[in-house]
Amino acid sequence: MNLTSKTPTSAAQELHTMLGWTCPSDYTLDEIANALGIIVKSVPIKGCEGRILARGNTGVISVNEKISHVGKRNFVIAHEIAHFLLHKHLMNFFSDTDKTLSDWHQKGPHEREANAFASEFLMPVTLFKSKVVGKKLSIGLIEETSKFFNVSLLATFLRYTSYGSYPAMVIFMENGIVRWKQASTDFPFQWLPIGSNVPAWTVAGDHFFNNTHEDKPVKVNAIEWFPDDKQIKYKTDWKLWEQCYPISQTGLVSCLWTY
The 10s digit of each residue's pLDDT in 153-175 is 989 999 999 999 999 999 999 99
Helix (H) or strand (E) holding 242: strand 239-246
Domain 8-122 has CATH 1.10.8: no
The 10s digit of each residue's pLDDT in 117-138 is 999 999 999 999 999 999 989 9
- Interval 41-58 mean pLDDT: 85
Predicted confidence band at 47 (pLDDT cuts at 50, 70, 90)? confident
Predicted confidence band at 56 (pLDDT cuts at 50, 70, 90)? confident
**Higher per-residue pLDDT: 140 or 247:** 140
76 close to 49: Cβ distance less than 8 angstroms = yes
Instruction: Please give the pLDDT value at position 104.
Output: 44
Asked if pLDDT for residue 103 goes beyond 60, the answer is: no
Rounded distance, CA 8 to CA 113, Å? 6
Predicted confidence band at 106 (pLDDT cuts at 50, 70, 90)? very low
Show me where the domains of the chain are located. Answer: 8-122, 126-257
203 close to 173: Cβ distance less than 8 angstroms = no
